[in-house]
Amino acid sequence: MTKDIATPKRTKEILDKFGFSFKKSLGQNFLIDPNVLSKIVMAAGLTEESGVIEIGPGIGALTEQSAKIAERVLAFEIDQRLIPILKDTLSPYPTVKVIHQDVLKADVQKEMEAFFRPGQDVAVVANLPYYVTTPILMKLLEEKLPVRVMVVMLQKEVAERIAAGPGSKAYGSLSIAAQYYAEAETVFTVPKTVFVPQPNVDSAILRLTRRSSPPVNVKSEQFFFQVVQASFVQRRKTLLNNLAKFFEETLDKSQVAAKLLSMDIDPKRRAEALSMEEFASICNEFHNEMNHK
């Protein structure tokens, strides 16, 4: 029986053996608690039929836990120095494939098709590097990859923002963008103490369950996300002020106000009070307007 990679002692042995030093620029924080790792894997509901995508495997601590259950694991690692370490630590798991590439530049769909069985149950299970969490998640969601669920470790504050509902301070354009594609929930929080080196912030496990179709119908996804972002540009300003600025080349402020009132939306409300359905209505109403200009 191989010893878990994720114990403090084994992690130190591996890092010493390869003379590895952490790169702050890559946001490297390795987990050293096997219990937390198995809880992450459990949250993804993996079976022996599952495939797993991992981003930033580090020295393979989480990869190992996924590989113990799932049929195959596909990991993307940006740091060249970790490739020989992963080859060594994951040698007992022949079902793992490590690709040395920045996932933001990778053709994930193509790699999935080459590695997983057609129609295989696939989950993303990853401890994401904090400095690029949002771009990675949005890439995976926007590309509409055939992934059932994503269970990811990220900064607690970002997890709260993604899972937030209307009326809360954390709710914003990121909440709406993520929840358009997936149902979002924070599964549990993770203390700084289970990492080496310790990050400055607490972490959380976020579960994103892919929706079969978006919860709202919009005439243009691109325009919908633009309207949402514009509405939150200055959080303290009213919806009217933010949208008037966004539409300033085509509509004057009184026209924007009149359209909002015609939809029973008070122009004095702030964006954080609006539901996704209300944003969809605004998008569809103003989309006609934009097309008539």
Question: Domain end: 210, 238, 271, which one?
Answer: 210
Task: Kindly write down the DSSP assignment for every residue of 221-281, as one continuous string.
Answer: HHHHHHHHHHHTSSTTS-HHHHHHHHTTTT--HHHHHHHHHHTT--TTS-GGG--HHHHHH
Task: Please tell me whether residues 168 and 251 are part of one structural domain.
Answer: no
Task: Kindly write down the DSSP assignment for every residue of 122-152, as one continuous string.
Answer: EEEEEE--GGGHHHHHHHHHHTT-S-SEEEE
Is pLDDT of 277 > 70? yes
**Is 102 annotated as a binding-site member?**
yes
CB 58 within 8 A of CB 78: no
CB 187 within 8 A of CB 250: no
Task: Please tell me whether residues 91 and 27 are part of one structural domain.
Answer: yes
Query: 196: domain range?
Result: 8-210
Task: Please tell me whether residues 189 and 61 are part of one structural domain.
Answer: yes
Whether residue 1 lies inside any domain: the answer is no
Separation between Cα atoms, residue 106 and residue 109, nearest integer Å: 9
Report the CATH number at residue 196: 3.40.50.150
Question: Domain end: 210, 235, 251, which one?
Answer: 210
- Please tell me the predicted confidence (pLDDT) of residue 261: 97
What's the structural domain count of the chain? 2
Task: Please tell me whether residues 104 and 246 are part of one structural domain.
Answer: no
CB 204 within 8 A of CB 39: no
Task: Please tell me whether residues 171 and 233 are part of one structural domain.
Answer: no
CB 58 within 8 A of CB 26: no
**Is 56 annotated as a binding-site member?**
yes
- Please tell me the predicted confidence (pLDDT) of residue 145: 94
Task: Please tell me whether residues 201 and 259 are part of one structural domain.
Answer: no
Is pLDDT of 253 > 70? yes
Report the CATH number at residue 262: 1.10.8.100
- Please tell me the predicted confidence (pLDDT) of residue 131: 83
Q: For residue 288, what pLDDT band results from cuts at 50, 70 and 90?
A: confident
Whether residue 269 lies inside any domain: the answer is yes
Mean of the pLDDT values across residues 20-44? 88
- Please tell me the predicted confidence (pLDDT) of residue 23: 79
Q: For residue 198, what pLDDT band results from cuts at 50, 70 and 90?
A: confident
- Please tell me the predicted confidence (pLDDT) of residue 293: 44
- Please tell me the predicted confidence (pLDDT) of residue 105: 97
Mean pLDDT of the chain, nearest integer: 94
Whether residue 3 lies inside any domain: the answer is no
**Is 49 annotated as a binding-site member?**
no
Residue type, 257: A
Whether residue 15 lies inside any domain: the answer is yes
Task: Please tell me whether residues 54 and 145 are part of one structural domain.
Answer: yes
Whether residue 216 lies inside any domain: the answer is no
Whether residue 268 lies inside any domain: the answer is yes
Question: Domain end: 148, 178, 210, which one?
Answer: 210
Is pLDDT of 1 > 70? no
Task: Please tell me whether residues 190 and 229 are part of one structural domain.
Answer: no
Mean of the pLDDT values across residues 241-250? 94
Task: Please tell me whether residues 177 and 281 are part of one structural domain.
Answer: no
Q: For residue 2, what pLDDT band results from cuts at 50, 70 and 90?
A: low
Mean of the pLDDT values across residues 263-290? 94
Span 69-127, pLDDT tens digits: 999 999 999 999 999 999 999 999 999 999 999 999 999 999 999 999 999 999 999 99
Task: Please tell me whether residues 127 and 190 are part of one structural domain.
Answer: yes
Span 156-190, pLDDT tens digits: 999 999 999 999 999 999 999 999 999 999 999 99
Whether residue 177 lies inside any domain: the answer is yes
- Please tell me the predicted confidence (pLDDT) of residue 107: 98
Whether residue 258 lies inside any domain: the answer is yes
**Is 26 annotated as a binding-site member?**
no
- Please tell me the predicted confidence (pLDDT) of residue 221: 95
Task: Please tell me whether residues 154 and 250 are part of one structural domain.
Answer: no
Determine what percent of the chain is predicted with pLDDT higher than 90. Answer: 88
Task: Please tell me whether residues 253 and 149 are part of one structural domain.
Answer: no
